[in-house]
A and B are shown apart, each in its own frame.
Chain A
Amino acid sequence: MEENSKTVSVTQKKKVHLFYCLDCEELARKIAAQSDLITLQSINWRNFADGFPNLYINNAHDIRGQHVAFLASFSSPAVIFEQISVIYLLPRLFVASFTLVLPFFPTGSFERMEEEGDVATAFTMARILSNIPISRGGPTSLVIYDIHALQERFYFGDHVLPLFETGIPLLKKRLQQLADANNIVVAFPDDGAWKRFHKLLDEFPVVVCTKVREDDKRIVRLKEGNPAGYHVVIVDDLVQSGGTLIECQKVLAAHGAVKVSAYVTHGVFPKHSWERFMHQNNGSEKAFEYFWITDSCPQTVKAIGNRAPFEVLSLAGSIAEALQI
């Protein structure tokens, strides 16, 4: 979806009741603050002694005939079942329509079988979501940001309408605010990232990196483009350990990049791997000038805050617009 104006056109006014999981409370509040049309609703999240969820949706009668949405975050397998229980129930409460906002689609990188015996967990996740009951508004809209592989659009069944959004417009807006906005080059760490993003960033000069096998090592090399003298921004959909980004940064710096920043939509950062990106020695040593992430992974955002070089770009505005579709 391309970026469009912030004001909602009159023909699209939909009052939406927004439920959310515990992790996402802050993002949910930001979304509701974007528009009077969005009202926050609450759920009692409790557990039985055996660990299974004991859930209650407050004011269930009030959402009859209303447009309803749920903001989910599957940050680990353990929290999936309780959120799915709510997701499977809400459409059946006589709502006018149901939208599931899942900013980060986990398992997205395990989406193919290279060998017979591989278990592509992205298929499992897509199947679980495709089984959301249909509501009076028809198939559930499923809003996902920067899914890892474009092919995953077709993993979903007919009762779900995937709506693939992107965080790139937020990046572009932020880049325009920089002092050296006219000296920016976008770098992609591999061909996959180039395929996913180059059309959205075609006004910038481009550098493409690639991983080359040397013996049993894999080394990042420059494949196309020239970063010398530029502020290079590495763009990818997600970051896990951060190893690839760090190697890209070294290669770009070695080829003459003046500054290197990074943008990922999803700061997954398992086991606090974001720590290796923090500025050392009071900012005198900085590998990355800026590191932009969105608030799709709320646990990371809570841990990092806005400590340099990290800056959180919020998806709240984009989600509020998507809810009007």
Chain B
Amino acid sequence: MAAASSTATQSPFKTFDASQANSLKPHSSSRIFINFKSLTPNRNRQIRCLIKSFENQPQNQNVDFLSGSDSIHLIQPNSSPSSAISMAAASSSESVSKTVKRVCLFYCDETKALAERVAAESDAIELRSINWRTFEDGFPNLFIPNAYGIRGQRVAFLASFSSPGVIFEQLSIIYALPKLFISSFTLVLPFFPTGTFERMEDEGDVATAFTLARILSNIPTSRGGPTSLVTFDIHALQERFYFGDNILPCFESGIPLLKKRLQQLPDSDNISIAFPDDGAWKRFHKQLQHFPTIVCAKVRIGDKRIVRIKEGDPEGRHVVIVDDLVQSGGTLIECQVCNFTYMISVYYESSHTFLKSGGYHLQAMATR
């Protein structure tokens, strides 16, 4: 096992040439781990990997990407005659190298536009359709065309539970797909609704987040084992443990998209992050550590609740209020007002407008 660390300082790319180290000559049964450790942990990293050649290579090379907290963007190199194994060629020939695996992506009406953008990100992701019809009594009449064609394939479904009325039809598909002899199943549910009703304060409260987690935990296992459930910025971190053992929740975040966008702003060095309450601070501060922070709080005065600044100073700064979701927007507006007396301008970015980030995850999944 060889480990290499690259000191990523000012130059954007650091190339590590594995052929220099003799100890990296692969054996037929050896595995090489190339672990990129950056000394500036919060910089966005791009990892490009081009395997040029192995001496005496056996035919089956497996390249697996273990991603840390950053999404890995697989860049297909131009195929050149000199490379015995190239990423681009791999997808056309299973026997040479299993690097890129196909994913059949199903979707519902509401998520069609996003699904098309996800599929556009990678050749490995293929869109599949479903016939969504309704019987006269209102119950769904569903059909999955070409169901034989997904046998042995990795399958995903991009869901959206925008209202209780659409849950049953999507759930029927979600419960049916894993049993069609697919090799693995991933449910992408970018927004987990009911996430805010996740506790019982009184005996008699009905925590609907528990209901939804239970319904999803009951997805049948496929040949690939438990279903992966990808969701973004779930409202309460404790909800991870509401799920049963037959499902693997994968909690992603839209914050990397925000960070990338902020870096593009002309005043990117004048940004402070504000959290509307302690809950938001708990969920997000670790991902936004290198920005100065402001924390707001709701304070009770009489029978009103007023937003006040608890910590930090927005004066002269471009303040970005960060939260997982927005409902009526009342809290955000109050935050904005109480910060506005001090600073130049305010934007808020809410994670659940960044649906595009779903694309990164599916692509990373396709390369594992």
**Chain A interface (Cβ < 8 Å from any Cβ of B):** 48-61, 75-82, 84-86, 88-89, 93, 106-107, 110, 115-121, 123-124, 127-128, 131, 133, 240-241, 268, 270-271, 273
Contacts and interface: CB of A to CB of B under 8 A. Distances in A.
Contacts of A241: 136
A65 B39 CA distance: 59
Contacts of B146: 117
B202 A56 contact: yes
B208 A52 contact: yes
B205 interface: yes
Instruction: Tell me which of B137, B140, B169, B205 has the highest count of chain A C-beta atoms within 10 A of its own C-beta.
Output: B137
B218 A81 contact: no
B266 interface: no
Interface stretch (B171-179, B225-233, B282-290, B333-341): B171-179
A80 B175 contact: no
20 contacts: A48-B197, A52-B163, A53-B206, A55-B206, A56-B206, A60-B203, A78-B163, A80-B168, A81-B167, A85-B206, A86-B206, A88-B211, A110-B139, A110-B141, A119-B140, A124-B168, A127-B175, A127-B220, A128-B171, A240-B137
A93 B204 CA distance: 8
Interface in B199-223: 202-208, 210-211, 214-215, 218, 220
A77 B147 contact: no
A230 B297 CA distance: 79
Q: Looking at chain B, what size class is its interface with the partner chain? A: 35 or more
Contacts of B211: 81, 84-85, 88-89
Contacts of A85: 206, 208, 211
Closest 8 CB pairs of A and B: A78-B165, A60-B204, A117-B147, A81-B164, A77-B168, A119-B142, A55-B206, A270-B136
A82 B205 contact: no
B148 interface: yes
A133 B142 CA distance: 28
Contacts of A80: 164, 167-168
Interface string B121-149: 00000000000000111111111111110
Nearest to B175: A124
Contact of A53 (B164, B166, B180): B164
A119 B143 contact: yes
A273 B138 CA distance: 14
Nearest to A77: B168
B215 A128 contact: yes
B328 interface: yes
Contacts of B140: 77, 119, 121
Contacts of B176: 119-120, 123-124
B173 to A, nearest CB: 6
B137 A50 contact: no
B167 A77 contact: yes
Given A49-B328, A78-B165, A119-B176, A54 B197 contact: yes
Contact of B148 (A81, A110, A116, A273): A116
Contacts of B175: 123-124, 127
Nearest to A76: B138
Interface string B255-288: 0000000000000000000000000000000000
Given A51-B164, A56-B205, A119 B139 contact: no
B327 interface: yes
Contact of B204 (A50, A53, A58, A110): A58
